Amino acid sequence: MRIGTRGSALALAQSALVRERLSGRPDDHPLEVIETSGDRDQTASLRRFGGKGIFTKEIEEALLQGRVDLAAHSLKDLPTETTPGLRIGALLPREDPRDALISRSGMPLDRLPPGARVGTSSLRRKAQVLARRPDLTILDLRGNVPTRIARLEEGRFDAIIVAAAGLCRLGIIGRATELLDDAVMLPAPGQGVIAVQIRADDKAAAAAVAPLHDRAAEAEAAAERALLEALGGGCLVPIGARARVQDGRLTLAGFVGHPSGTPFLRRSGSGGASAPQSVGRELADTFLHDGARAILDSAREDEVVP
């Protein structure tokens, strides 16, 4: 099976996890590195790209053209709308979905000094940090994980926020100063989940990836992405979500906020783990009833990049 992947250290580590879990030897499943539009420009704000498929479009095109048989993605990068002709064949077991703070001083978020420069390209992270610490300065930070850490060490930032899952998969989770729990920051929908995408009519690929699929990751991701879709959000909007499955029940916590830190909403819901999408849609209804649409519309207007 030929596996399409981005070329960053993290993307290659994630593709290697897929490769190792497929039957046969890893060498039987070559990796094809594909540059995406989000990779070509590492300086422009992500909002300039429009927010949908910026890290997945070119890989999906290679899959549709038959240049690769599988595509390995971070699920949080995949739009909630399914690309015609493609489907998700498997979701790997979820890595730690939390966000991690790495600070030069070793101080956690609540002890950073006023005005400390915190780097992130995520409006979701920006909104939640400023909701808790409006005295901090949030600066845009792009690039792969090693590049972000290097910029921190160069002194451009006092702290940065990245996904804990990425640090785990790169073997550098020890660099984290603090793992941010749900009360502080909710992750992006699907964060920590690797999605294996295949052509919808490829039975051989479907059979090959079926053993990789994790049911708990499926239920959690379905609830979180249903919430995101019902709110009309993409991968760049200030929406956070965290689902948990336990004893046949699914709980879902959500966040919607303005990138300035205010206003924001935090709500939660629960339901049967067998109907995760219903839990997500019902929580979205609660958010919309409580004013989420106005917050999101304002966020989009205020974050327009010329």
Q: Is 66 helix (H, G, I), strand (E, B) or coil?
A: coil
Structure tokens at 221: 């991701």
> By the 8 A CB rule, do 115 and 191 touch?
no
**10 Å Cβ neighbour count for 266?**
16
Name the H helices within the chain.
Answer: 9-21, 37-40, 57-64, 123-132, 145-153, 164-169, 203-209, 215-230, 276-289, 292-302
Catalytically annotated residue among 69, 77, 99, 158: 77
User: Rounded to whole angstroms, what are the CA distances from 141 to 15, 38, 47, 121?
Assistant: 24, 13, 13, 5
Non-local CB neighbours of 122 within 8 Å, separated by 6+ positions? 161, 188, 236
Buried b / exposed e along 206-224 (16+ C-beta atoms within 10 A):
eebbeebebebbbbbbbbb
Supply the DSSP symbol for 180: E
Reply yes or no on whether 99 is catalytic.
Answer: no
> By the 8 A CB rule, do 259 and 299 touch?
yes
* Active site residues per annotation: 77
